[in-house]
Amino acid sequence: MITRRTVLGLFATTPTALALFPRMALAREPEVFQNPVAINSIDPVGYFEQGKPVVGSADHKVNWGGAEWRFSSKRNASKFASAPDSYVPVFGGYCAYAASRGYLAPTIPEAWTIFDEKLYLNASLRAQKLWRKEIPGNIAAGLKNWPGILG
């Protein structure tokens, strides 16, 4: 079966295609992980205040950094709005372990760590375990890769 991807792939390898699409580029990933709301609709303040992932509500939302963030209460939304850098996960909510290895991965709410008053999320509990083996080194590697891995 011939798919559109196959046809486009064949066409894109010809010199004519290169002449027709000289400025074609891959889209850059958003700086905040969204599915479709920032960090899976989890209240980032909840990690700090309740010590666990807490589901946010569309009734308490803040638009920041090109994404919609949801909160479990008006109080948490206000805290975030007044100091977002205190609550936004490092690496935009993408997997911190993946960032340390040079790629992007989505995250799950249950795999999280607060280290030096910063929130880090991971793609899985296994990634969280690997992340926690060498947090300072993983942070340094992730910061070196960021934001270049966004595309």
pLDDT at 29: 82
Structure confidence by residue, pLDDT tens digits, 8-54: 343 343 343 333 333 334 567 888 989 889 999 999 999 999 999 99
Phi and psi angles of residue 55, each rounded to the nearest 5 degrees, phi first:
-70, 135
- The model's pTM is 0.81
Helical (H) or strand (E) element with 31:
none
Domain carrying residue 126: 39-150
Residue 122: inside a domain: yes
Average pLDDT, rounded, for the chain:
86
pLDDT at 6 over 90: no
Of the chain, the end-to-end C-alpha distance in Å amounts to 31
Residue 131: inside a domain: yes
Residue 75: inside a domain: yes
Q: How far apart are CA 143 and CA 48, in angstroms?
A: 22
Residue located via tokens 């700090």: 48
Residue 50: inside a domain: yes
Residue 78: inside a domain: yes
Residue 62: inside a domain: yes
Q: How far apart are CA 32 and CA 133, in angstroms?
A: 25
pLDDT at 58: 97
- Cα 59 to its chain centre, rounded Å, is 23
Residue located via tokens 């296994």: 126
pLDDT at 117: 97
pLDDT at 3 over 70: no
pLDDT at 26: 54
